Amino acid sequence: MNLTVRIWRQAGPAAEGRMVAYPVDGVSRDMSFLELLDVLNQRLIEAGDEPVAFDHDCREGICGSCGVVIDGQAHGPERTTSCQLHLRSFADGAVIDVEPWRASGFPVVKDLVVDRSALDRIVQAGGYVSAPTGSAPDAHATPVPKPDADLAFDNATCIGCGACVAACPNGSATLFTAAKVTHLNLLPQGGPERAQRVLGMVEAMDAEGFGGCTNTGECVAACPKGIPFASITTLNREYLAATRAR
C-alpha cells in the first residue's frame, strides 16, 4: 500500500502546531496503525529528521495510551483502539489526517502526545474504596445481584483512553466519570463512599476544565470498550441524590 499521512506536528505546549504531509509507501495492509507510524519514524530518523512523538504502551488494546484522532474520529474509523486499527481499513492511496486528542483538559505535550493526567485526578477524587478487605475473600462471601455485577463489570472495562472526551463536541469527560462512579457505586464495597465519590469526582471533572454533557452520544459511539450511555444517567441520578443528602 502507498499512503499519505498528514500529521499534527507541535514542538511543545507553547509552540504553534501545523499539519505536515508524509508519503509512506510499501506498507502492508495487515500492519497496525501504530506500525505505520513506526515505519514513518524509522524513515524520518534515517533522513536525519525529528520523529513523530506519539503515546503507546501495550499495543494490545488494553492500556488506552495510544489514542489519536484519525480522519476526524477518535481512534479512527473502526470501534477499537488505535493500536488495534489496521491499514486494511483504508484504501490504497488514501490521505489520512492524524491529530492529537483535542480538549481543554488534554493540553498537547508534543505532536500527538497529550497530557491526560486530568483523568487520573478525577479517579483520585473518588475512585477508591476505604473498606479494609484484607486478603482476597471467597467469591461468594458478599452476594451481589447478577445484574449489578454485570453492569459493574461493563463499566470497569473503561481503560481511560480519553476517546469519549476527544469525540464529544463539548470536550466532556462525563462518560469516563460515569463509568468509574457506576462501577464502584453498584458494589457493596463502594457503599461507604457512595455520595462522597460522586460529588468529589464531578467536582474534579469540572475543575479540570472539561465541558458539560449535552447527551449527543458521540462519546458512546467512540468508546472502544462500549461503556453504555445509561451510565451517564446513573451518574446524574447518583449526583442528584448526593447533593440532596448534603
Q: Any idea what the CATH number is for the domain that residue 75 is in? A: 3.10.20.30
Q: Which of 93, 109, 125 is the last residue of a domain?
A: 109
210-238 pLDDT, tens per residue?
Answer: 999 999 999 999 999 999 999 999 999 99
Over residues 168-187, the mean pLDDT reads 97
87 and 132, same domain (yes or no): no
Please count the other Cβ atoms lying within 10 Å of the Cβ belonging to residue 55: 21
Q: Which of 109, 128, 146 is the last residue of a domain?
A: 109
148 and 234, same domain (yes or no): yes
Task: Using the predicted structure, report yes or no on whether residue 132 has a pLDDT greater than 80.
Answer: no
Q: Is 35 exposed, middle or buried (0-12, 13-18, 19+ CB in 10 A)?
A: middle
- Report the pLDDT value the prediction gives residue 133, as an integer from 0 to 100: 64
- Report the pLDDT value the prediction gives residue 142, as an integer from 0 to 100: 81
Residue 121 maps to which CATH number?
A: 1.10.1060.10
150 and 207, same domain (yes or no): yes
Q: How far is CA 82 from CA 34, 41, 85, 223, 224, in A?
A: 7, 17, 5, 12, 9
Q: What is the mean pLDDT of the chain?
A: 95
Q: How confident is the model at residue 67 (pLDDT cuts 50, 70, 90)?
A: very high
Q: How confident is the model at residue 78 (pLDDT cuts 50, 70, 90)?
A: very high
Task: Using the predicted structure, report yes or no on whether residue 31 has a pLDDT greater than 70.
Answer: yes
184 and 130, same domain (yes or no): yes
238 and 129, same domain (yes or no): yes
Q: How confident is the model at residue 135 (pLDDT cuts 50, 70, 90)?
A: confident
Of 88-97, 121-130, 224-233, give the lowest mean pLDDT range.
121-130
Count of domains for the chain: 2
172 and 202, same domain (yes or no): yes
β partners of residue 73: 70
Task: Using the predicted structure, report yes or no on whether residue 138 has a pLDDT greater than 80.
Answer: no
Q: What is the DSSP string of 129-190?
A: --S---SPPPTTSS---HHHHHHHHHHHT-----HHHHHSTT-B-HHHHHHHHHHHHTSGGG
59 and 136, same domain (yes or no): no
188 and 161, same domain (yes or no): yes
Task: Using the predicted structure, report yes or no on whether residue 95 has a pLDDT greater than 80.
Answer: yes
Q: Residue 238 is part of which domain span?
A: 116-244
Over residues 197-204, the mean pLDDT reads 97
Please count the other Cβ atoms lying within 10 Å of the Cβ belonging to residue 177: 30
236 and 125, same domain (yes or no): yes
- Report the pLDDT value the prediction gives residue 245, as an integer from 0 to 100: 84
34 and 122, same domain (yes or no): no
234 and 127, same domain (yes or no): yes
